[in-house]
Amino acid sequence: MHGGDIYTEGKLKGQELIDFSSNINPLGVPESFKKSLDEALKNVVNYPDIKYRMVRESLSRYEGINEDLFLLGNGAAEIIDLSISTLKSILIPAPSFAEYHLSAEKWGVHIEYFHMKEKKNEDGTYSMYIDYEKLLQELDGVEGVILANPNNPDGSVLDKESVKKILQHCQKTGKKVIIDEAFIHFTLLEDQSLVKWVNEFSCLLVIKALTKYYGMPGIRFGYGITSSKEMRDEIEKKQNPWNINSFAVEAVKSVLFDDDYNKKSIEWLENTREPFVKRLMGFSVFNKVYRTLGNYVLCELNGITSKEFYDACLERGFLIRNADNYRGLSEYNIRLAIKDKDRNEKLFDMLNNL
């Protein structure tokens, strides 16, 4: 169901795989976090501050938002899950991250799907996009909507002016708008996040995480921001105490202010994303390559199913994301993470010899 399963076909069979399935910053764990490990280890003998005051202070300083507006989660997934649990019905894009519908199903939330549209760009890439007029109409039948900025698996970002209209409508009609910004840093667009609007729109909940950009899925830290006290209370009352461990506490305090890591990540993305997409377009095994503002690229295969392609890659030591189980995609879709130059070259070599 998810990327990053290096265990089933890899470690558990004694095999090291090159993982192109999980979309994590290839620069790995920030040095600033490694330096804080002693402190984290020292604190393991104590319960963390149950109010997580220093975590809130760091997040507040980083986002420029009052610290009371934050929800702290065991990964973005916890906040996504609990925010969806507050609804009776939800509109979910197709395709999108599987946890949206899995959470809704788990909590008995009625799901309506809306399908993203697709266009061909001048440079030969493809893009998915939302028909916002249609989305506005479809909101009629539901209590809330979840959108990702950028979306997984295609890497398209939200059109902010159109989302503003959606927010104005939802603010008036009492609907909730959940925006998943787990990959927002990778867009490299300073003004793309909707966080600045949380004070203006209490219907809005924006969710972020350390997971993807800071290369730490194992730390499990994410957060939500909303000015709705009612929404925060509703979510917090479902959370377990001490849901953030001592290592995650130190991670928040260090990595958000790691300018060196940020600089290197920007450099990597600026030098790698476009060439990666262009190189993929040169392989005849791909019928479509999607333009992305994430660190992953959605592709449609040509004459081979994603299952066959997945197996062929696995045989050669590469794990890719078979994307045929995303609602709205087909048995020909796969997703590739963008890695560092060395690993990308290995992937291209493998594709050349396929």
Ligand X SMILES: Cc1ncc(COP(=O)(O)O)c(C=O)c1O
Given the rule CB under 6 A, which residues bind ligand X? 75-77, 97, 148, 152, 180, 182, 209, 211, 217, 222
Task: Supply the Cα-derived Rg of the chain in whole angstroms.
Answer: 20
Residue with smaller CB distance to ligand X, 17 or 77: 77
Q: Which is nearer to ligand X, 175 or 212 (CB)?
A: 212
| Shortest Cβ 3–ligand X spacing (Å) | 7
Instruction: Tell me how far, at minimum, the Cβ of 97 lies from ligand X, in Å.
Output: 4
Q: In terms of CB distance, is 26 or 75 closer to ligand X? A: 75
Shortest distance, CB of residue 202 to ligand X, whole angstroms? 23
Rounded Cα distance between 214 and 248, Å, is 12
Closest CA to 337 of 155, 187, 120: 155
Tell me which H or E stretch contains 301.
strand 296-301
Contact between 291 and 277 under an 8 Å Cβ cutoff? The reply is yes
Closer residue to ligand X in complex, CB, 211/351: 211
At 117, give phi and psi (nearest 5°).
Answer: -95, 170
Sheet of 204-209, strands arranged across:
70-73, 222-225, 204-209, 176-180, 144-148, 89-94, 110-115
CA 148 from chain centre, in angstroms, equals 7
Instruction: State how beta strands 286-289 and 296-301 pair.
Output: antiparallel
Nearer to ligand X, 4 or 312 (CB): 4
Measured from the CB of residue 26, what is the shortest distance to ligand X in angstroms?
16
Minimum CB distance to ligand X, residue 5 (Å): 12
**Min CB(319)–ligand X separation in Å:** 15
Query: CA-CA distances (angstroms) from residue 55 to 73, 217, 256?
Result: 12, 18, 11
User: Phi/psi of residue 321, each to 5°?
Assistant: -95, 110
Q: CB nearer to ligand X: give 145 or 148.
A: 148
Are 23 and 295 within 8 A, CB to CB?
Answer: yes
d(Cα 337, Cα 293) in Å, to the nearest integer?
12
Comparison of 42 and 106: residue with beta carbon closer to ligand X: 106
Smallest distance, ligand X to C-beta of residue 88, A? 22
